[in-house]
Structure 1
């Protein structure tokens, strides 16, 4: 049985850089079912999260970002 993965793009209203993004990326990586978190400093508002939809959801990922004190929206992929 193969495990499916889904990617979601999260737009964070705050400007992120490598330093300010680190705690947020760590928080997202700790969500059960998350398999990859990507951030490119050249696109300072965007985070790509790959996850297993049978374990977590895009809504839960967004809630993690919001609980971390950021305003954000799901964009999708």
Structure 2
């Protein structure tokens, strides 16, 4: 069954502390279409995003990261 939900992993180049990961998670979650944003506690360079591609694109997700001041790239979807 196709639910229409996609997921993507974004690698953030900078080392983020817990406060920064919390803030960036909130930046993602404030956007329509983003369902979840979860950093891996063992590797805070990776965030897994679940989103509705009918509402927001993976390119938009990368732009959120860029506007937050971080560098990184999509590594899977």
User: Structure 2 regions of 5+ residues with no counterpart?
Assistant: none
Q: Deviations over 1:43-72 (max 9, x none)?
A: 120000000000000000000000000001
The offset of 1:21, in angstroms, is 0.8
User: Structure 1 regions of 5+ residues with no counterpart?
Assistant: none
1:34–1:50 contact (8 Å) kept in structure 2 = yes
1:59 matched to 2:59? The reply is yes
Give the number of equivalent residue pairs: 76
Report SS of the residue matched to 1:24.
Answer: helix
Q: Using the alignment, how far apart are the partners of 2:37 and 2:22 within structure 1?
A: 11
What TM-score do the two structures reach when normalised by structure 2?
Answer: 0.90
Bigger Cα displacement from structure 2, 48-57 vs 15-24? 15-24
Report SS of the residue matched to 2:76.
Answer: coil
What TM-score do the two structures reach when normalised by structure 1?
Answer: 0.90
Q: Which stretches of structure 1, 4 residues or more, deviate above 3 A after TM superposition? A: none
Q: Using the alignment, how far apart are the partners of 2:28 and 2:61 within structure 1?
A: 7
Q: Using the alignment, how far apart are the partners of 1:37 and 1:20 within structure 2?
A: 13
